[in-house]
Amino acid sequence: MPNSTVPAAATGLPARSTKAKTRPRPRRRKQDDAAFIANLLEPVLPHELDDFEYNKLARKCLEDAWKDVDARTRHDRAAFEFWDKYWCYYRFHMKDKSKADYAFEQRSSWLADWRKSVAEQLRTAACDSAGLAWKRRMEKEPCLSISREEIDAAIAADEAFLAAHPVRRPSKVAKKSAISDVLG
């Protein structure tokens, strides 16, 4: 450690600047979580469901849970695919029975974990139409630990929620046709 009484030029090191060289980051607005949850849990009247900001907040609450479960599902799928390739390599190319057996055990374990995480994600409420489309694709997946009736009920609940909580305003054409229907 250099002596603090020795000037920077004598040590061969450049002098340190006291000025910050980075731009300050803009401050992010933080919302009080307790107030947000309290507002979200208040009873909602039917005429209030047209509030698009409220709908965005309601979907955001679902999005966090969906992303957590989705990350677990993707991780389990990636691990299963890794062990599947590892098993194929040692089984068919290297013809190493002991490593192939170990890889097969790992592969089977990760496959079971992936199926459980898919079932958990199917039970989790979808936050957007992409999540709903994923559920419809996974509905056809064999050997899941969830019944068809449970999947159909979850999809129906998601469709109802997404229909009741639109996040985009209707187009002007739809507004004009709705006004003309009312006026006759």
Is 3 within the bounds of a domain? no
Question: What pTM does this model have?
Answer: 0.62
Quick one: pLDDT at residue 81? 94
CA 158 to chain centroid, in Å, comes to 16
Q: Is 29 helix (H, G, I), strand (E, B) or coil?
A: coil
What confidence tier does 166 reach under pLDDT thresholds 50, 70, 90? confident
Please check whether residue 18 lies inside any domain of the structure: no
pLDDT at 172 over 70: no
Distance, in Å, from the CA atom of 152 to the CA atom of 45, rounded to the nearest integer, reads 27
Helices within the chain (DSSP H only): 8-11, 33-41, 52-88, 97-123, 129-138, 148-164, 172-183
Give burial (CB, 10 Å; 0-12/13-18/19+) of 135: buried
| Residue that the structure tokens 């849990």 belong to | 41
Asked if residue 133 is part of any domain, the answer here is: yes
The answer as to whether 79 is a domain residue is: yes
Counting residues of the chain whose pLDDT is more than 90, the rounded percentage is 35
Domain assignment of residue 181, yes or no: no
Task: Answer yes or no: is 154 within a domain.
Answer: yes
Question: Is the model's pLDDT at 92 over the cut of 60?
Answer: yes
For the chain, the domain total comes to: 1
Per-residue pLDDT reduced to its tens digit, 107-157:
999 999 999 999 999 999 998 899 999 999 998 888 888 899 999 999 999
User: Residue 179 domain-assigned?
Assistant: no
**Mean pLDDT, all residues of the chain:** 77
Encode pLDDT of 53-88 as tens digits: 777 878 888 888 999 999 999 999 999 999 999 998
Tell me which of 98 and 5 has the higher pLDDT.
98
Q: Residue 75: give the domain boundaries.
A: 49-167
Q: Looking at the domain assignment, is residue 101 inside a domain?
A: yes
